[in-house]
Structure 1
Amino acid sequence: MTITATPPGRSSTTRDTRRPSHLPAGTGLRAPGPGASKRQRRRADALQALVWLTAITGIAFMIQSGAFLNSGMWGWLAMISRALGIVAAVMMLAQLLLASRAPWIDRAIGHDKAIMLHTEYGVTSVVVMLLHIATVTVADSHVAGTNPASQLIAYWSYGWFLAWALVSLAATLVVLVTSFASARARIPYHKWHAIHLLSYISIALAVPHQFLQGETFRQMGVAWWFWFVLWAGSGAAFLYWRVVKPIAVNRRHHLSVSSVRRETDGSVTITLGGRGVRRIGVRSGQFLNVAFGRWAFMKEMHPYSLSAAPGDTLRITVKPLGDASSALARLKPGTAAWIEGPLGIFTHESRTGRDLLLVGAGIGVTPLRALLEDAPAWGAISVVVRGRSRAEVPLIDEIQHLASARGARYAELLGRRGTTWGTTERPVSLVGTVARPKDTDLYICGPVEWGLQVEADARAAGIPDHAIHREEFAW
């Protein structure tokens, strides 16, 4: 395969390196350099290191408060249980921050990686919390001269804050059990999501006992303020970006459906309008969580990528795959829309090279169409579209027209899936076909397994890891 191919009967065009007339001069984008991606990787590493540094600092405060004064095996067990509780608390803090959708987290590691880490820290916090409860119960039962089961029940009478902590444990276990793949496959997403919200309630219920029961907090010293700032800051970030900000954005812009268009492939293109839409700050390649209809803010949100460069309107294109997406074809102009976001770093700001290669399959071509529309004219642009047939690829005529207008190299890979990420009739590889692999940014969007094949091929072709952009959209 060469990425200069065009369909029969269609002419290719010469690359015009001038800034296209539709791209405003004041975009704020500059020609990229390798430092941008390196900074992102450093921030991502620093964020994870900070989590463990916080846990170590918390344990240090515990030791400073006299944890080593208890001697013997049971004293050591009590100290270990407190250390485990501190680690669990830090994991909960990390969960809150990573799920807050704060822009600085999105810029540092991307929304998909934030959700992945949120899940990892969630599992870790549950495991560590169970170990904390088991060890502290065994240690306390020895001191009280009773068995662990009786001791666990006795905690209900120790104060409201410990009762809340036990309720927190029960809620956490419900979330954990329903998060297993076997259970999640049987639960509709909207019900699973409602159950998952219990994790935030469980965090809130667990906090009081840390301040009212822990020996480190007997006096309002440095340790008390350390934890207070952490919890207050994380909670405030979560409430602001997940609750206050969306309410403010939607009240300010009053988004609603401007038009609904059914595409030839069966997908549906929906255009949203409102007041001062440009000020929302959405960029091509990003996605929004959207709900439609009356009381939309109370409904299940779904992530949709922009299928056109944002301006005075926002446009999404959706393939009807389930009940929610199929219902979008029945939307009427004027229907209210509620959004959260924008989210994701699948944007031109992540670029590190001069050349641009866009590779998309199926509905995954929609964010690439938006990226193509306002791609800065730094270097050569190439576009590869994959599908079983032209009739099954959404917006394919728009993409080809934009590629021609931008002077981009354009290729279509149409047919049955083969052993490569191409087709059975046309096996493909980027090896030897990318002119300047070290200076090329690759954006991939499509089915997960297919995208991984493209990513592996890109590495073999010499495109650096930091220049390969593949974002899996997650709630």
Structure 2
Amino acid sequence: MTITATPPGRSSTTRDTRRPSHLPAGTGLRAPGPGASKRQRRRADALQALVWLTAITGIAFMIQSGAFLNSGMWGWLAMISRALGIVAAVMMLAQLLLASRAPWIDRAIGHDKAIMLHTEYGVTSVVVMLLHIATVTVADSHVAGTNPASQLIAYWSYGWFLAWALVSLAATLVVLVTSFASARARIPYHKWHAIHLLSYISIALAVPHQFLQGETFRQMGVAWWFWFVLWAGSGAAFLYWRVVKPIAVNRRHHLSVSSVRRETDGSVTITLGGRGVRRIGVRSGQFLNVAFGRWAFMKEMHPYSLSAAPGDTLRITVKPLGDASSALARLKPGTAAWIEGPLGIFTHESRTGRDLLLVGAGIGVTPLRALLEDAPAWGAISVVVRGRSRAEVPLIDEIQHLASARGARYAELLGRRGATWGTTERPVSLVGTVARPKDTDLYICGPVEWGLQVEADARAAGIPDHAIHREEFAW
């Protein structure tokens, strides 16, 4: 693959180390070092270890409360059931925190990783919860001298908190079933999202019986306070970052549509304006959850990446692929907008090398265009755009102009899909074409399978795993 340098007369392999004129002072960006990614991985590992340490601590409190005093097989079964219940509850706590969109979680592991772990912990909590219910029902039915089915029904009469717990289980099972890939493929996003909100209701319904049933967290001792602080802290983080913060941001900035422009490829570029937009703190490469129109805060929100560096306005470019995205072309200036975010770590802050390689396909070029616009001048910049034709790639003229203005190397791969991530006429590989692979950060955005091909090629070329940043446009 040959990447031609533009414009003539400027070096494409060395860069001025001064801050570019369009990059505002005070961004806090520094030339990256190899320790940045290692710290991020350590924080991610620590976060996951903390979840299991919390579960172990809860089980230790259970044992201290006298769980071993029950002898015999049925006593052991009851103890195992209580331990499973604690593990399931900790998984719920983790779900709540990971879904809170707290910035420190985003910085530690990234939004995509947080959602992945949120899903994993969700599945784990359901499995462990089912085991908890099965074992406690069998143990209690033995003590009561009845069968497990009758005992399960009897729980409804044990108190409102156990009835709520059973409703929580039913709601969780609905969320689990609709989260399988086969089910998600058949359910429109807005319906799936509405169903998924049940998971937070189910978590809330499961909490009371943890304090009112059993002995471990019932008395207001150290164990009670330990459990209370966990739930209060997680709940407060969720409510603040998912409810209070978005309300405050939108009331303060009063965002609305400034302009709507249809691009030559059929996508729609929407510019949002408001009061003090810079203070929202959005960075290039990040995305926002956005809804438009009257009562926008009550509507379904969709994730959109910025397609230009943030300033006094925020700009997104959307490909019309469904009912919601197609309707955006009909928006009028002045239409109210409601946002959540910013979200994601697909930003310059994640860089660990001096050189920058941006590779995008189709609508995936939009966040790369924003990254290119305010890329700090640490080293060489290269841009590769992939599409069937120029007419099908949004903002391609803007990207080429920016590449020229930044002295970046620029290449277009246009045509039918081939065996590589290039085209049938122009198979490509990064092997042997990246000047300093160990000191290069690669940002990839485009279709999932194509992006995985680029990622594999980058590894073969010698670009380190921690320097490969890939964003997926999928729900």
Alpha-carbon distance, 1:202 to partner: 0.7
What whole-Å deviation, never above 9, does each CA across 1:121-146 have from its counterpart, x for those lacking one? 00100010000000000000000000
Query: TM-score normalized by structure 1?
Result: 0.97
Counterparts of 1:223 and 1:473 in 2: how far apart (Å)? 43
Counterparts of 2:13 and 2:404 in 1: how far apart (Å)? 6
Task: Please say if residues 111 and 474 of structure 1, whose CA atoms lie closer than 8 Å, have aligned partners that are also in contact.
Answer: no
Alpha-carbon distance, 1:174 to partner: 1.4
What whole-Å deviation, never above 9, does each CA across 1:213-270 have from its counterpart, x for those lacking one? 0211232111101100000000000000000000000000000000000111111100
Percent identity for Structure 1 against Structure 2: 100
Alpha-carbon distance, 1:183 to partner: 2.5
Counterparts of 2:275 and 2:190 in 1: how far apart (Å)? 30
Alpha-carbon distance, 1:14 to partner: 8.3
Alpha-carbon distance, 1:440 to partner: 0.4
Alpha-carbon distance, 1:186 to partner: 2.4
Task: Please say if residues 355 and 440 of structure 1, whose CA atoms lie closer than 8 Å, have aligned partners that are also in contact.
Answer: yes
- Residue aligning to 1:142: 142
User: Could you say if the C-alpha distance between residues 319 and 474 of structure 1 is closer, same or farther in structure 2, counting changes exceeding 3 Å?
Assistant: closer
Alpha-carbon distance, 1:194 to partner: 1.0
Counterparts of 1:81 and 1:14 in 2: how far apart (Å)? 63
User: Could you say if the C-alpha distance between residues 423 and 297 of structure 1 is closer, same or farther in structure 2, counting changes exceeding 3 Å?
Assistant: same
Secondary structure of the equivalent of 1:441? Answer: strand
Task: Please say if residues 112 and 473 of structure 1, whose CA atoms lie closer than 8 Å, have aligned partners that are also in contact.
Answer: no
User: Could you say if the C-alpha distance between residues 319 and 402 of structure 1 is closer, same or farther in structure 2, counting changes exceeding 3 Å?
Assistant: same
Alpha-carbon distance, 1:463 to partner: 0.5
Alpha-carbon distance, 1:20 to partner: 2.5
Alpha-carbon distance, 1:5 to partner: 6.2
What whole-Å deviation, never above 9, does each CA across 1:164-213 have from its counterpart, x for those lacking one? 11111111111122222232222221111111111111111110001000
Task: Please say if residues 354 and 380 of structure 1, whose CA atoms lie closer than 8 Å, have aligned partners that are also in contact.
Answer: yes
User: Could you say if the C-alpha distance between residues 325 and 82 of structure 1 is closer, same or farther in structure 2, counting changes exceeding 3 Å?
Assistant: same
User: Could you say if the C-alpha distance between residues 463 and 10 of structure 1 is closer, same or farther in structure 2, counting changes exceeding 3 Å?
Assistant: closer
Counterparts of 2:444 and 2:27 in 1: how far apart (Å)? 23
Alpha-carbon distance, 1:473 to partner: 4.9
User: Could you say if the C-alpha distance between residues 8 and 440 of structure 1 is closer, same or farther in structure 2, counting changes exceeding 3 Å?
Assistant: closer
What whole-Å deviation, never above 9, does each CA across 1:265-285 have from its counterpart, x for those lacking one? 111100000000000000000
Task: Please say if residues 14 and 407 of structure 1, whose CA atoms lie closer than 8 Å, have aligned partners that are also in contact.
Answer: no
Counterparts of 1:474 and 1:387 in 2: how far apart (Å)? 18
Counterparts of 1:416 and 1:7 in 2: how far apart (Å)? 28
What whole-Å deviation, never above 9, does each CA across 1:420-448 have from its counterpart, x for those lacking one? 00000001000110000000000000000
User: Could you say if the C-alpha distance between residues 351 and 59 of structure 1 is closer, same or farther in structure 2, counting changes exceeding 3 Å?
Assistant: same
Task: Please say if residues 20 and 406 of structure 1, whose CA atoms lie closer than 8 Å, have aligned partners that are also in contact.
Answer: no
Task: Please say if residues 88 and 129 of structure 1, whose CA atoms lie closer than 8 Å, have aligned partners that are also in contact.
Answer: yes
CA RMSD of aligned residues (A): 1.9
What does 1:231-250 align with in structure 2 at a 5 Å threshold? 231-250=231-250
Alpha-carbon distance, 1:88 to partner: 0.2
- Residue aligning to 1:166: 166
Secondary structure of the equivalent of 1:420? Answer: coil
Alpha-carbon distance, 1:15 to partner: 5.4
Task: Please say if residues 285 and 305 of structure 2, whose CA atoms lie closer than 8 Å, have aligned partners that are also in contact.
Answer: yes
With 276-285 and 190-199 compared, the bigger mean Cα shift is at 190-199
User: Could you say if the C-alpha distance between residues 194 and 357 of structure 1 is closer, same or farther in structure 2, counting changes exceeding 3 Å?
Assistant: same
With 332-341 and 160-169 compared, the bigger mean Cα shift is at 160-169
User: Could you say if the C-alpha distance between residues 458 and 304 of structure 1 is closer, same or farther in structure 2, counting changes exceeding 3 Å?
Assistant: same
Alpha-carbon distance, 1:28 to partner: 1.3
Q: Is 2:234 the counterpart of 1:227?
A: no
Counterparts of 2:12 and 2:87 in 1: how far apart (Å)? 59
- Residue aligning to 1:116: 116
User: Could you say if the C-alpha distance between residues 370 and 243 of structure 1 is closer, same or farther in structure 2, counting changes exceeding 3 Å?
Assistant: same
Alpha-carbon distance, 1:148 to partner: 0.3
Counterparts of 1:422 and 1:122 in 2: how far apart (Å)? 38
Task: Please say if residues 287 and 341 of structure 2, whose CA atoms lie closer than 8 Å, have aligned partners that are also in contact.
Answer: yes
Q: Is 2:410 the counterpart of 1:410?
A: yes
Counterparts of 2:385 and 2:134 in 1: how far apart (Å)? 55
What whole-Å deviation, never above 9, does each CA across 1:358-410 have from its counterpart, x for those lacking one? 00000000000000000000000000000011111000000000000000000
Task: Please say if residues 93 and 234 of structure 2, whose CA atoms lie closer than 8 Å, have aligned partners that are also in contact.
Answer: yes
Counterparts of 1:161 and 1:14 in 2: how far apart (Å)? 66
Task: Please say if residues 308 and 316 of structure 2, whose CA atoms lie closer than 8 Å, have aligned partners that are also in contact.
Answer: yes
Counterparts of 1:13 and 1:199 in 2: how far apart (Å)? 51
Task: Please say if residues 356 and 442 of structure 1, whose CA atoms lie closer than 8 Å, have aligned partners that are also in contact.
Answer: yes
User: Could you say if the C-alpha distance between residues 13 and 140 of structure 1 is closer, same or farther in structure 2, counting changes exceeding 3 Å?
Assistant: closer
Secondary structure of the equivalent of 1:217? Answer: coil
With 278-287 and 187-196 compared, the bigger mean Cα shift is at 187-196
Task: Please say if residues 14 and 379 of structure 2, whose CA atoms lie closer than 8 Å, have aligned partners that are also in contact.
Answer: no
Query: TM-score normalized by structure 2?
Result: 0.97
Task: Please say if residues 285 and 346 of structure 2, whose CA atoms lie closer than 8 Å, have aligned partners that are also in contact.
Answer: yes
- Residue aligning to 1:181: 181
| Ranges in structure 2 where 5+ consecutive residues have no aligned partner | none
Alpha-carbon distance, 1:8 to partner: 14
Counterparts of 1:154 and 1:12 in 2: how far apart (Å)? 75
What whole-Å deviation, never above 9, does each CA across 1:335-360 have from its counterpart, x for those lacking one? 00000000000000000000000000
With 348-357 and 5-14 compared, the bigger mean Cα shift is at 5-14
Counterparts of 1:120 and 1:199 in 2: how far apart (Å)? 13
With 10-19 and 439-448 compared, the bigger mean Cα shift is at 10-19
